[in-house]
Chains A and B, each alone.
Chain A
Amino acid sequence: MDIEAIYLEIEADIQNVNSREALELFRLKYLGRKGAVAELTSIIPTLSKEERAAFGQKVNSLKNKLSEVVGEKEKLLNVQPETKIKVSCDLGMPGIAQELGQLHPLTQVLDEICAIFNRMGFSVVEGPEIETEYNNFTGLNIPLEHPSREAFDTFYLKDYAKLLLRSHTSPVQVRAMKERKPPLAIVVPGRVYRPDAVDASHSFMFHQVEGFLVDENIRFSDLKGVLGVFAKAVFGKDIKMRFRPHFFPFTEPSAEVDISCIICKGQGCSVCGKKGWLEILGAGLIHPQVFKQVGIDPKKYTGFAFGMGVERIAMLKYGINDIRLFFENDLRFLKQF
């Protein structure tokens, strides 16, 4: 077969290729399994040794040439017809701004509370939301099968009798007092869980801030001073505060702390139930039994502790009447803070 003649044939054939289908037929004719190149290759073994090398080289360059021709044609056929778009751009138009997120109102209030205590020398410590039965109850002088447990309905973990979702942030007291030595001044922000039916003032999950101070010669008057600074910082300078005797198993004496109603200024309104006072937190001097449980000598050290609901503080501060609003994450609500 005359290789030179094939070259000429190729030249002629490629001119007539105008579509991909035609190109495929062209490729098969020359490079296919029964194409010209394959035919030439098949006669190589029949040639004498001397002829083989030269003939082989010729076939190879023919093959390369074909690949080149097919490749070029393919490129030509693949080019999309040029479309013409009229580009208009108003460089004076303002851009589309990306909306900025912001801190959740509860985070804002939580940060504010912690910042106030930070300024008084308290450091922030956190603890796990899954707690041991001991840290949540026994270590805090809340014995098993005692009526004082009634106030703390609790979610227990399935299959783990001694583990629960903490029902208050007080277990961090036990943890911190075991790990560190007095003097201690700590605030503990965090989530707590209680199996309460959800309504305007209850949620199965809410936030607390716990605080405690342990040193020699800590008195009830120190507690009053610290909480006075706190209440005035959050609710304003004119706020009045009162301590009502109460009972908590982990403090003695214990008190509930009220502020004068921020809506009616103590005159009596629907928010304070005509009492003129709003309860904001519980507090007291740490029970000697709690000190004994964590290995602090109650003869040497005294201390106070307090705990407050963050939602409650936020609701009073902003006049919000439904706790569910915090957790529905309706942007119309969140954007107001």
Chain B
Amino acid sequence: MSEPILTTRNLTRKFGDFVAVNDVSFSVLRGEIFSLLGPNGAGKTTTISMLSCLIAPTSGDAAIDGHSINGNPNGVKNAIGVVPQEIALYDTLTARQNLNFWGHMSGMSGKALKTRIEEVLEQVELTDRADDKVEAYSGGMKRRINIAVGLLHKPKLLFMDEPTVGIDPQSRRRILDMVSDLRDQGMTVLYTTHYMEEAEELSDRVGIIDHGKLIALGTQKELTKLVGQQESLRLHLGEGITGESVQELFANVDGVLQSNALDGEVILSVTEAATALPGAVTVANANNIRIRSVDIQEPNLEAVFLHLTGRALRD
């Protein structure tokens, strides 16, 4: 797991005056799961679009398995598999017909394709529903076939663009387990998400992207070191109180380094939770703010994002 399969160099994409991806450089090593973590609109999908040769970079380049996205897009396309954010399938075809079609588009055919279709159907646990039309599938099943299409031709590098968006927790769990299995099988995955928990659970390394810029990169351990020994106090507030309205009140509590508001809650970055909590409760009581519950969190990627941007990941 030392040799990079993907290397980007100063990758930039502008749409008019808007800079969607700004001078991004990183590498993905063979066999690792690399997550690009960032809020909606951070530039994750634009980055994947450039890497999968859908749009050309305004400047910069990337090499995938030795092929430049600018110079040899066909070589790149042969090396990658893409699981897009949307369900890019034909509803009126069965799952097997979809896989057969996409297999042909990836250059497969004959018995090899047939065998591989059975393998991926088993992998996504949809063998018994393979001959049903996709339009009859649940959202989670569609997501799994969407992933199966990306895996079909055994790509050297798999791009997964927010593959758990809009599905129920059970289906989400199934997909995350599937991605873990891919790592066990040695597949290299570039995974984009705005869910901190997914990045934490799946990734060998994480790149944090915001406003088109890669603002941090490393293992989870390396990233959490950036926030020092900080902990997070998450105060869930009573009904009718928005985080924004009380954010400033908690910023002045002893031991609080940073106060951030979310919908119905406030996240406090603190040097030590046990010291800061009584002060926070005192301020709440003095201002008739009801605290419904409190979570104390060890340093995590959310805290890293907060530390680096001054905003919560879901802002």
A, B in one complex: no
| A contact set with B: CB distance below 8 Å | none
| B contact set with A: CB distance below 8 Å | none
